[in-house]
Structure 1
């Protein structure tokens, strides 16, 4: 059944302020957002700019924000979008009450070229930074193919689904505050190389992905990338898998990022929850070996004492044994999956 929908599109030219332009359409619930944008461009405003290609969730070209979340315009349809809006706002499902409004805006974390078209240069540069291709040395096997078993190939299935649409990059909080962070799309591809048995540069890759906050330790674990990924790649999970490959190779004293993760687990195993006094000393001062780090804790400690927020004692959880067994069970499960 046809319905009236009001589209509010954020329009913008390069280096200019954005503006909202509204278009009212009569559409079917099964029409995709891309169908509607095409209708606007063909029937109402030929100057509207957006990317498209396959129209079938394959190429990733039509990435944009639909009512505040990054998605593919060719995948989302009017019926599901209106239902989502009604569910989130609690509005009546009676379409006569109010014309549904759908807000379309460009992807985030990338500068706008025109309307819904963004400059993806940083997106591709960050992908290139992780060397997302199998090392040539590993493929130099004369006179025969480099075969993989079905089990080996299955390790690549999920990351192989990535279509480079930019949805995860658009929603990445870490990328928003840290322009050096390569982004979830790049690290998902990075894990594909780590898991690929044909690649001969795994150790070098892990060293590279472990550096500072441009690699895996820059991720804030907000899970937005998992939420918006249209292909179920789950980039956040792939980042965690790279971390699990790095941790056994590193001593806790190697870097603050490594210490942060290891000390957290150690303290939870020891007391059921985190002893905040030890956490700061172990992570920031490197078990009292980093004098500069230790001194940096002084001002914070004094402020906490002055406001009565410094824990003078620590009471272990009653469920320490249970927590410890759960951690060990998770570790054992991870080892068995390998």
Structure 2
């Protein structure tokens, strides 16, 4: 079958352009197979990273038809099927199937499909991605773990640092201080490791501003593109749960947001917006700057008739409260 490959090509600090290559391929050919043929048979100047060809090293991550993936894992047949499913909802069809390949996002392009991953690696280093035993006596032999303790590390240990999640991260796109899902997934790997002696310090660090877990926008893209099912968003959520369990509402606005939300919903079935702003932003009238910051919003809401002057609990408050308490009880058992 003939497939038209549209490759987004670019030199460092220059405008991108689309270059097309027509190939006769088999449905089982991987995208990396096709890129190799383009380079070997049609255009030796095309630049891209590759290594293992077996979904192990993570080198060949790139955007394939708009989503970040490993070129050695995705094949022509599955990509065309996916595009055909999308095309079924539109009137646009192509006589020759097209596959568009672009460099990873959130990282500057060096050449063609090769990106500069310095931010990616620097952000990983920022979370101290190694087990620390500095405060403990090092045993004569290895630190032993039970199978249950080791199993907590399995999912995050599967990360191959391909950069797919970082490429799609909306949190980093709008906030360059956010360390990214790859770093925080590895961070949970450290938090969950019973051999690590820096858990409290780690949670303090990951709780800082929007560079840690609170910078995540919960868009779910990292989970959807991860080729190894690491589920970075799930790991970020676990760190948040650890932080909330160790912190008081007065410690930060992010923690108050979570705890106050649950308390208000338990109390009334839904959020009492009058209390929410005062308790979260105003820190129960302790944060004068925060209170002054929401005054203009409150006045605009009053003028528009949108400020809730009273609050009526939901008719299903008891059911909502029971559900939350059941979840909390289940979490405490874990």
Scaled to the shorter chain, the TM-score interval is over 0.9
State how far apart, in whole Å, the 2-side matches of 1:138 and 1:34 are. 46
Q: Is the contact between residue 132 and residue 190 of structure 1 (CA under 8 Å) also seen in structure 2?
A: yes
Runs of at least 4 residues off by over 3 Å? none
Give the whole-Å Cα distance in 2 for the aligned partners of 1:140 and 1:52. Answer: 42
* Alignment of structure 1 residues 151-300 onto 2, 5 Å: 151-300=148-297
CA offsets 1:92-130 (integer angstroms, 9 cap, x no match): 9xx9x6211111111011000000000000000000000
In structure 1, C-alpha distance between the alignment counterparts of 2:149 and 2:46, rounded to whole Å = 46
| Residue 144 in structure 1 maps to residue 122 in structure 2 | no
Cα displacement string for residues 168-189 of structure 1 (whole angstroms, at most 9, x for unaligned residues): 0000101001111000000000
The aligned counterpart of 2:19 is 21
**In structure 2, distance between residues paired with 1:89 and 1:336:** 47
Q: Which runs of 5+ in 1 are unaligned?
A: none
Are the equivalent residues in 2 in contact too, given 1:32–1:77 (CA < 8 A)? Answer: yes
Deviation of the 1:33 alpha carbon: 0.6
In structure 2, the CA distance between the partners of 1:299 and 1:141, relative to structure 1 (3 Å rule), is: same
In structure 2, the residue matched to 1:62 is 60
3-state DSSP of counterpart to 1:104? strand
Verify the 8 A CA contact 1:138 1:199 in the aligned structure 2.
no
1:7 partner SS = strand
Contact 2:133–2:195 under 8 Å retained in 1: no
CA deviation after TM superposition for structure 1 residue 318, in Å: 1.2
Structure 1 vs Structure 2 CA RMSD: 1.4
**Contact in 2 for aligned 1:34/1:74 (Cα 8 Å):** yes
Go from structure 1 to structure 2 and tell me whether the alpha carbon gap of 1:80 and 1:153 turns closer, same or farther (over 3 Å shift).
same
Cα distance in 2 for partners of 1:224, 1:142 equals: 42
Q: Give the distance between the partners of 1:173 and 1:36, measured in 2 at CA.
A: 30
Alpha-carbon displacement from aligned partner over 1:264-305 (angstroms, at most 9, x marks no partner): 111111111111111111111111111111111111111122
Question: Residue in 2 aligned with 1:34?
Answer: 32
Aligned length: 332
Which residue, out of 111, 118, 124, partners 1:127?
A: 124
Q: Equivalents in 1 of 2:164, 2:310: separation in Å? A: 45
Tell me the residue number matched to 2:3.
Answer: 5
Distance 2:248 2:136 in 1: 32
Q: How many angstroms does 1:91 deviate by?
A: 7.1
Distance (Å, rounded) in 2 between the aligned partners of 1:54 and 1:139:
38
Question: Any unmatched runs of 5+ in structure 2?
Answer: none
SS of the aligned residue for 1:226 comes to: helix
* 8 Å contact from structure 1 (residues 139, 198) kept in 2: no
What is the CA–CA distance in structure 2 between the aligned matches of 1:138 and 1:114, rounded to whole Å?
45
Alpha-carbon distance in structure 2 between the residues aligned to 1:121 and 1:112: 11
| Matched-pair contact (CA < 8 Å) for 1:210–1:216 | yes
Query: What's the offset of the Cα at 1:140?
Result: 4.3
Which range is displaced more, 297-306 or 115-124? 297-306
